[in-house]
Structure 1
Amino acid sequence: ECPSGLVNEENFKQIYSQFFPQGDSGTYATFLFNAFDTDHDGSISFEFSVATASVILRGTIDDRIGWAFNLYDLNKDGCITKEEMLDIMKSIYDMMGKYTYPAMREEAPREHVENFFQKMDRNRDGVVTIEEFIESCQKVTSQL
């Protein structure tokens, strides 16, 4: 798909859409691309994507949690807001397409966001910091 070894956002979205033909994966693919494109140069090299995939699949729990936080922190300001998480949730529902519609209730993404914040926003200030995210995720993984 990318003989140069580099993929830009449009190529990434096109490739990613092949994995979710039943829905619209465009928005989620953009979020994912931005999480991979850490230097914000508009492209991802094959080598970097393999290294990132290795962290996601085989990294430490802290590495994986940190990567997930980076994905959810859409504007990269160090905290996850309800609006960011709602954008993520809506993009996941859109991506799943016919597997969520029409069974999905319109308020389901917002309910997921409220549930997420109830568990993660430890000090109830309306944002989830990396520290709160790590603490909450480690608490869940220690219970498994």
Structure 2
Amino acid sequence: MVTSLSSEQLIQLSEKTHFSSNEVRSRHESFLKDFPDGVISRKEFHDTYRQAFPGCQQNDVQRYAEYMFNAYDIDCDGEVDFVDYIRTLSVTERGTMDEKLKWAFSMYDINGDGQVSLKEATEFLTSVHRLRGNGDRESAERAARRIFRDLDINGDGLLSQSEFVVGAKNAPIVRDLLEGGGV
């Protein structure tokens, strides 16, 4: 839990992110206003998503929020502290294409084993489609199959992070699908 940042910590976070020390300090102050304990609990994270998607089925919101929580919880300690938060914002707001695709991979890799199965891709895309109100499991499954058709280079039925990143960069239609699916 980080409730105050030393000058050294500001410099370190600035070096590890795409933010200046002043931007890190400002984001930290805002973070603490919203989360005075210095962490976002799983429940608080889920509550934020429930408020953002009030018209959606709560179990759909819960599922999507869990995928997002896991992508934010970089150190896998069960909470999102400021370091997790600022590192994620750095990638999502200012990251390179590779950084953004690696982060997207972490959302698709639901079980965290370093590979994405067709089932995981389908589950993630189903949650996205349901929140957007533009599809069902069948459309998500079709989208997942298209991703696998174009990205599973070695044909093993699993996507490594490398296959995911390289494939998405080299196949604009897949990159567009991924971006439309939650990146």
Instruction: Please indicate the TM-score interval, normalised by the length of the shorter structure.
Output: 0.7 to 0.9
Q: Over the residues paired in the alignment, what is the CA RMSD in angstroms?
A: 2.1
2:111 pairs with one of 75, 79, 85:
75
- Tell me the distance in 1 between the aligned counterparts of 2:171 and 2:147: 13
How far is the alpha carbon of 1:5 from its aligned partner?
A: 2.3
Structure-1 separation of matches of 2:99 and 2:108: 14
Structure 1 residue 105: deviation in Å? 5.3
| 2:75 and 2:84 in contact (8 A); partners too | no
Q: Which amino acid aligns with 1:6?
A: V
- Distance in 2 between the 1:61 and 1:109 partners? 23
Query: Which residue of structure 2 aligns with residue 89 of structure 1?
Result: 125
Task: Indicate the residue corresponding to 1:117 in structure 2.
Answer: 148
Shift of 1:48: 2.8
What number of residue pairs does the alignment pair up?
138
Query: Aligned pair 1:130/2:166, yes or no?
Result: no
Please tell me whether Structure 1 or Structure 2 has the larger radius of gyration of its CA atoms.
2
DSSP-derived class of the 2:40 partner: strand
Q: CA offsets per residue over residues 61-89 of structure 1, 9 Å max, x none?
A: 21111111111111121210011111101
Does 1 or 2 have the higher relative contact order (CA < 8 Å, sep 6+)? 1
Q: Distance in 1 between matches of 2:86 and 2:142?
A: 34
Looking at structure 2, the residues matched to 63 and 118 of structure 1 have their Cα atoms a distance apart, in angstroms, of 23
Aligned equivalent of 1:65, options 85, 96, 101: 101
Give unpaired runs (5+ residues) of structure 1: none
Structure 2 SS opposite 1:128: strand
In structure 2, the residue matched to 1:35 is 71
Identity, % of aligned positions: 31
Q: Which amino acid aligns with 1:10?
A: K
SS of the residue corresponding to residue 159 of structure 2 reads: strand
Looking at structure 1, the residues matched to 111 and 136 of structure 2 have their Cα atoms a distance apart, in angstroms, of 28
Does structure 1 conserve the Cα–Cα contact (< 8 Å) formed by 2:73 and 2:84?
A: no
TM-score, normalisation: structure 2: 0.68
C-alpha separation between the residues in 2 aligned to 1:128 and 1:106? Answer: 20
The amino acid that maps onto 1:136 is G
